[in-house]
Structure formats: C-alpha cells, structure tokens
Structure 1
C-alpha cells in the first residue's frame, strides 16, 4: 500500500474538538469528503514536497509546510501523528502556492535527482509520471490550500 498523504480543511469548531479529543481525527477521516476540502495526494506527496521546498525533509520554508508542516496532534496515523497547520499559516501557504503553476514545477522536475535523493516512491524514470501523476496531484494540493484559506480553515495533514 505505501505511504499516502491526506490533507483536510477543518473549521475552527472541528479544530477545537480535535484539540480536546485527538481521537476525533478518526471520525473526521471516516466522514470522507471531496476535493478541494479533502485531498489525497497518494504517494506523490514526497516528490511534491521536494519540488516545492527543495529538500526531502521538513524545513522552515512556507512551501514546505504545504505537505510537512504543522504541529502534531493525536496518535500515530501510520507514519507519525497527524499535523495541524493553523489558519493563518494556511493563508500564507495558499499565498505562496498561488503564483506557482505546473510549468514552474515542471522546470524543477529532474527524475535523476529525485532518484538520487531517494524521494519516495522511486518511480521518477517512468514515462509521463510528471504529467499524469505529479501535475494532477499538485493541482489538488493547490486547490486544498486555496479552499481552506478562503474559509479561514486550518489544514490537518496525515501520512498513513
């Protein structure tokens, strides 16, 4: 199955409930949802993080927070606890993502460097992986942050 990234816009009320009852995360996840409020990046998350932040790990850069930001909440969801990115930081991430488009991301895409950096999963030499996989998932990620920022929502991120 592998490591899958999910991001979810949550209201202030949902965030307050999550803070007092971390197990509420499981109810949120089971409630489903559709893009742009809920986004599943599948296994594209690590490459997208690397393309946006220029690193394979969390950094202090606002673009790094799009996938690896926030403060841990609750139990381990498979690869650490879910993380909450506050509404103010969500607005900053959305603003930083706004001018970035698929051609900008494509210009940073280098299959050999991704493989050398051991970016998960190692599929970067496959045909059309950027166009059919990364570009599609980047569009979902950008829509999630625009949606959440417009509604003053926080974003809960989890890798499962």
Structure 2
C-alpha cells in the first residue's frame, strides 16, 4: 500500500466546523474528494510527499506544506494519523515562499542518492537512481494550489493516507 499526500482547501467557516466535529469533517472531505476529478479544492502529491518534505525543510521553508502546522483537536486516524492544517495566514506565507521557489531551484544539488541516504519515502525508487522529475512535477503543482487557496483566504487541511 502506498502512502499519499492529500490536501483540501477549506474556507475559515469550514475549518472551524471541521475542528469541532470530526465525524462531519470526514464526511465533508470525502464528498470533496469524490467530486469531479481536478477539483481545485483538492490536491495530491501522491508518493512524492516525503521528497517534497525533505526538500522544503532543506530549503528552510517557514511553513510545513507537507504535514501542516496545527494538529486537529481529535484523534481520528485518516491513514497515517489525523490530519493537520494550515491557517489562512500560514497558507499565504506558504504561497509566497512556493511562488519564490521553482522546483528546479529546490532540487538543485540534490540527487536520488541523497534521498536514498536520508531514507526518503519511497526509498526503493531513490536506491534505483530514479531522477527527481516526478517530485518536481508534484511540487510545481503545489504552487498554484497554494496560490489559489491564499487568494481565496482559505485554510488547508493535509494528511498522509
């Protein structure tokens, strides 16, 4: 089974309700995820999430765009633990740093051997020497996702499933 990074944009009112009602949260998010493919409110970094985490931490990003900054106040497991979230202010900060950091710049000087050495998931592809092209594609797709969330004043819920 693969571990996938998942993101959902939420209005401040939706975030407030989610934080207080985990049963509604799961139902609401599942409806969003089941909507038409390509819904601008949902995004996935697929299996590239851990490489994106490694690279953004290495670059000193001020916001954790992979795991979120705040824990939800409930314990419901959505795959590999409960989701976390970024507030609208943190989404704006993330959007700014993402806009200023192109994927090629983020991966400069880093190769598959570096990711294998750091045991970045999924380690077997880095051990095989696969290039970081897929990671760059997923990272580049995060940039407009966060930009649009910031423009709308949205929060972002994130989790690994």
- Shorter-normalised TM range: 0.7 to 0.9
Contact residue 84 and residue 157 of structure 2 kept, 8 A: yes
Offset of 1:29 from its aligned partner? Answer: 2.8
Aligned residue number for residue 132 of structure 2:
130
- Aligned counterpart in structure 2 of residue 44 of structure 1, from 48, 55, 61: 48
The match for 1:28 is: 28
Taking structure 1 as reference, are residues 109 and 36 closer, same or farther at Cα in structure 2, changes over 3 Å only? farther
**Does the C-alpha gap of structure 1 residues 35 and 126 become closer, same or farther in structure 2, counting only changes over 3 Å?**
farther
Q: What TM-score does the superposition give when structure 2 sets the normalisation length?
A: 0.86
Secondary structure of 2:107's partner? Answer: helix
Residue of structure 2 equivalent to 1:71: 70
Matched pairs, number: 154
Q: 1:17 & 1:115 partners in 2: Cα distance?
A: 40
Structure 1 residue ranges without an equivalent (≥5)? none
TM-score by length of 1: 0.86
Return 70-79 or 39-48, whichever deviates more: 70-79
Residue 69 (structure 1) shift: 2.2
Please give the per-residue CA displacement for 1:4-57, whole angstroms capped at 9, x wherever unaligned: 1101110012112101202223223322253542111111000011111129xx
CA offsets, 1:84-130, max 9 Å, x none? 11101111111111111122023143211110100000112556642
Runs of 4+ in 1 over 4 A off after TM superposition: 125-128
Cα separation, 2, equivalents of 1:126 and 1:35: 34
Change (3 A) 1:155 1:126: same
- CA–CA distance in 1 between the matches of 2:112 and 2:24? 39
Cα distance, 1:117–1:127 mapped onto 2, change above 3 Å: closer
The verdict on how the C-alpha distance between 1:157 and 1:150 changes in structure 2, with shifts beyond 3 A counting, is same
Alignment partners' CA distance in 1, 2:128 and 2:102: 22
Point out where structure 2 has 5 or more consecutive residues left out of the alignment. Answer: none
Question: For the Cα contact (< 8 Å) 1:84–1:157, is it kept in 2?
Answer: yes
Maintained 8 Å contact 1:37/1:147: no
